[in-house]
Structure 1
Amino acid sequence: MTHVDMWTDGACKGNPGIGGWGTLMRSGGKERELFGGEKETTNNRMELTAVIEGLAALKRPCHITLHVDSQYVMNGVQSWMKGWKRNGWKTRDKKPVKNQELWMALDEQVARHQIEWVWVKGHAGDPGNERADALANMGVDEARGS
């Protein structure tokens, strides 16, 4: 199984506002960068989108070391999602899960791969995270039309 190091990040100018997402992938000495944006979104949606797009870009199942700076994404996958699925994508309070369509898409992508989740502190000098952040901001610029 191919090993991929992946860093993801989301950005939003205003929350909600113009947002972007970025993903950096490295494997076998090669590097790939992805980014995109939306005119009206939230930071959490962009954090989720960065992971979904990165995982979806892989053509076959991989072993991934996935570096994220989003506690929302990490907690969602590792702690909350199992209960949400068991409860029909409802929270403990019986309310619909926010960003449900993205969580469902992420669940589908996570099932394809073997993932080691690594939390990194954002804006703390991790080179992969810094590049993912720069890509996310490129996505903001693209959505802004600049």
Structure 2
Amino acid sequence: MPYYAVAKGRSAGVYNSWGDCKDNVSGYSGATYKKFDTQSEAQSFVSQRSEGGSSSRSSGGGSYGGSSYSGGGYSSYGGGYSGSGSGGNSSAKAEKIYVDGAARGNGRNDCPQSGYGVYYGAGDSRNSAVPLSAVDNVSQVKPTNQRAELHAVKHALNDIQNEHASNPNSSKSYEIHTDSTYTKNSIDNWANNWKNNDWKTSSGSNVANRDLIEPTHGLYNNLKDSGVPVELVHVKGHSNNEGNDQADRLANQGADQMR
């Protein structure tokens, strides 16, 4: 069974379920956590990343010790990895994936040239520029910037899922960077409420883009439930952020290819 070690969160310790772990790290700035196959490795992760003292309690049959950690490991954005740990199965720095969408004449044209971009780094074969016509029936579903952004996030999550499937023992972590607050909030914050409300908004109207939000939210949660550290991170657009600028460039290349 998996063990989830929380070295820094609302309550440090070793937990037997992702749900308990998530409750302790979700939204917690600088959270430090990791999934292990054995309880001893998980406990070692917590104790090695504690700055002082230890305690022991039980949580779902597990025990934990330690309190806080600031010398590397998972941090910021609710669990993205930004340093290097020294415990068992230590992870590399979080892979940052930048996504963006483009819809020219968004809100004005009936079928604007649209596309999305996914950027991993210079010369990376996974970099993608995709026209929206390749993933949507644009004759029936109007292309929008919001749909392009959601498709980009879904693309990145599918990449992560495929990578994890090919190497399930990897402790690699991921950050998906988007300049769309709508996209981040739809997946991270609003989807659960919409789902519980039969995919209706608070005003009773149907949730726009449900056909994209629902499976993307499901994929995001499935990865987290599997212990894959993945977070959506909002970045300011057009602010000389190299990754975001390159994703924007790829999104426009995708839009150029739309037919």
- The CA deviation at 1:79 is 2.1
Q: Structure 2 length as normaliser, TM-score?
A: 0.51
Query: Aligned residue for 2:53?
Result: none
Higher relative contact order (CA 8 A, sep 6+): 1
Residue aligned with 1:117, SS: strand
Q: State yes or no: 1:90 paired with 2:200.
A: yes
CA distance in 1, matches of 2:191, 2:229: 17
CA distance in 1, matches of 2:145, 2:247: 14
Residue aligned with 1:8, SS: strand
**C-alpha contact (below 8 Å) 1:21/1:139 kept by paired residues:** yes
Question: CA separation of 1:105/1:35 partners in 2, compared to 1, >3 Å: closer, same or farther?
Answer: farther
Q: State yes or no: 1:8 paired with 2:99.
A: yes
Residue aligned with 1:131, SS: helix
Deviates more, 1:67-76 or 1:32-41: 32-41
Query: Aligned residue for 1:42?
Result: 144
Matches within 5 A, 1:58-97: 58=160, 59=162, 60=164, 63-97=173-207
93, 112, 116: which is aligned to 2:231?
Answer: 116
Amino acid at match of 2:116: W
CA distance in 2, matches of 1:116, 1:110: 9
**C-alpha contact (below 8 Å) 1:34/1:54 kept by paired residues:** no
Query: Aligned residue for 1:131?
Result: 246
Amino acid at match of 2:127: E
Residues 22-47 of structure 1, C-alpha deviations (whole Å, 9 max, x = no match): 01125xx9832012112540000001
Instruction: Answer with 1 or 2: which has the greater Rg.
Output: 2
38, 53, 56: which is aligned to 2:155?
Answer: 53
Question: Which ranges in structure 1 are unaligned for 5 or more consecutive residues?
Answer: none
Give the CA RMSD over aligned residues.
2.1
Q: Structure 1 length as normaliser, TM-score?
A: 0.87
- The CA deviation at 1:51 is 0.5
Matches within 5 A, 1:20-35: 20-25=115-120, 31=124, 32-35=126-129
Percent identity, please: 33
Q: Which has a greater percent of helix?
A: 1
- The CA deviation at 1:101 is 0.6
Q: Which has a greater percent of strand?
A: 1
Question: Which ranges in structure 2 are unaligned for 5 or more consecutive residues?
Answer: 1-90, 166-171
CA distance in 2, matches of 1:140, 1:65: 25
CA distance in 1, matches of 2:195, 2:97: 26
CA distance in 1, matches of 2:104, 2:123: 31
